[in-house]
Amino acid sequence: MGISSAAYGSLSPTDLDNFTNPLRLPGEDGLMGILDASDTPLRIMTCRDSIEVLPGKRSEISAYRVERDGKFYLNPTIRVRTGANFSAELANGLDEETTVHWHGLHVDWRMDGHPFLPVAPNATYRYAYPVENWGGTSWYHPHAHGTSARQTYSGLAGFFIVGDEEERRLSEALDLKLGGTDIPLLIQDKMFAESGNFLYAPG
């Protein structure tokens, strides 16, 4: 993971000594943990949390939090099968409106996190739709009017991976394991304050 920070000065991307954080791999829980959602409805809560991005400092973030079977996930890597009926209830724990937009998925507009259907603070909204996409990697993020960029920058984003029969056969032939030999890469550009928190300064 690279570090670009106002507090840390201008760090050259050509100097490998500036890139010391280990690559984050999606595991069985925690940040970007792999969550199979083909058959079981999810309850996703937007909340505030903190993670270590800069070594030794905590960064406050907004996150999608899911609890299942005693495990906790932040911005889970959601995995579903083509043809499955996906269902997730969004519970908005933020102090402003938000939505979940299922970027790249073929869904009814009422299920697409449209700005016309914002979820107010302390309110819920049920997303439910058949997964009609072929195998591939998409992502999910907020799409409320006027706040999409800031909320996404603050941390609200995750992978949405669809698996179909062709993808299953390819993974089997190549012995691919999600989070092991098949690694989704999330590349973001952040600026940091001295405290370690994100600086959002568009323009």
Tens-place pLDDT, residues 18-50: 777 788 889 999 999 999 998 899 999 999 999
Cβ(90)–Cβ(124) under 8 Å? yes
Residue 7: what pLDDT? Answer: 42
pLDDT digits (tens, 9 = 90+) for 147-174: 999 999 999 999 999 999 999 999 999 9
Q: Angle CA(70)–CA(122)–CA(85) in degrees, nearest 5?
A: 55
Q: Which has the closest alpha carbon to 151: 184, 194, 118?
A: 118
Residue 21: what pLDDT? Answer: 78
Token pair listed for 197: 């928190």
Long-range contacts of 117-121 (CB under 8 A, 24+ apart): 118/144, 118/145, 119/90, 119/92, 119/144, 120/92, 121/92, 121/93, 121/94, 121/95, 121/96, 121/97
Residue 188: what pLDDT? Answer: 86
Cβ(86)–Cβ(131) under 8 Å? yes
Domains in the chain with CATH codes: 30-199 (2.60.40.420)
Read off the amino acid at residue 71. Answer: K
What is the distance between the alpha carbons of residues 6 and 190, in angstroms, rounded to a whole number? 10
- Alpha helices for the chain (secondary structure H): 148-153, 165-174
pTM: 0.89
Residue 55: what pLDDT? Answer: 82
Residue 6: what pLDDT? Answer: 42
Q: In whole angstroms, how far apart are CA 124 and each of 46, 99, 118, 152?
A: 10, 10, 10, 19
Per DSSP, 18 falls in state: G
pLDDT digits (tens, 9 = 90+) for 91-112: 999 999 999 999 999 999 999 9
Q: Which residues contact 71 (CB under 8 A, 6 or more apart)?
A: 28, 29, 33
Lowest mean pLDDT: which of 2-11, 147-156, 186-195? 2-11
pLDDT above 90 as % of the chain: 76
Residue 10: what pLDDT? Answer: 59
Per DSSP, 193 falls in state: -
**Has residue 11 got a pLDDT over 60?**
yes
Could you tell me the pLDDT band of residue 88, with boundaries at 50, 70 and 90? very high
For tokens 């991005």, the residue is: 53
For tokens 């995995």, the residue is: 79
Q: Angle CA(81)–CA(85)–CA(90) in degrees, nearest 5?
A: 105
Residue 141: what pLDDT? Answer: 98
